Amino acid sequence: MKQLIIPGKEKPYLMAHRGNQAVCPENTLAAFRQALQDGADLLETDLHLSADNVFVCIHDDTLERTTDGQGPVKDKTLTELKEYSASYGRPEFNEERIPTLAELAAILPPDVGLALELKIDDFLQPEVAHKLSGELKSLGIHDRVVIISFSLERLKAVQAVDADIPAGWITMTGLRPIMGVQLLGPFWKLLLRNPGYVRQARTRGQIVCPLDSHGEERMWLYRLLKCEVIMSDDPAALARAMGR
């Protein structure tokens, strides 16, 4: 299976978790643009489907936390979703809206990758997996995408229709690296309990991105373990900690 490689970038890669959440509302174009200015190598976002089957970038199943809308994301058409502000209650970002995957791809530089967290079981359906694969190809970003999820079943379902998309498994409890995925995202405290985790993954050709929204606070650990991807809610702070 294909590995995650970003041409022209050296590891460790810097992953911006939902863009730059420290400065902007999460999962908005403002947050993604800021993360790019901060030097992110990878933008991470969360994928849902609207009622009319458009891929949209929002973390929660419902609208209440990050927008001024209400109800499940899946019950709203894209037109309806675009009526809501995604400002996360911050007036200076009132004009921000929930982005589509296509809108995010449109601002993605050719040397930056994209990590897509599959948030819903719709990705278990072959037609949705085919739709995602086809859209990534038509948007010209297929070769720079990794799909990630806490659900192995969702990852396997997408790779069953497109084995060329690298997959990453996120876990809060798995103490040892599993086979069958290209990227592993263990909660960072698991690496303290099993310091050999990264080394074992590397012998299998896998890369590790610790699940840590403040990776800059533990750069000493990730340098020691030689992690190949490091993430943060604040990519600017992480870039400084990485010496960039």
pLDDT tens sequence for the chain (244 residues): 577 878 888 899 999 999 999 999 999 999 999 999 999 999 999 999 999 999 999 999 999 999 999 999 999 999 999 999 999 999 999 999 999 999 999 999 999 999 999 999 999 999 999 999 999 999 999 999 999 999 999 999 999 999 999 999 999 999 999 999 999 999 999 999 999 999 999 999 999 999 999 999 999 999 999 999 999 999 999 999 999 9
pLDDT, residue 142, reads 96
Catalytic residue list: 17, 59
Assign domain 13-61+99-241 to a CATH class.
alpha beta
pLDDT tens digits for 152-188?
Answer: 999 999 999 999 999 999 999 999 999 999 999 999 9
Structure confidence at residue 78 (pLDDT)? 98
pTM value > 0.75: yes
Please give the pLDDT value at position 1.
59
Residue spans of the domains in the chain: they are 13-61+99-241
Residue 4's pLDDT is 80
What is the distance between the alpha carbons of residues 199 and 227, in angstroms, rounded to a whole number?
9
Q: What is the pLDDT of residue 190?
A: 98
Element (H, E) at 171: strand 167-171
DSSP 83: T
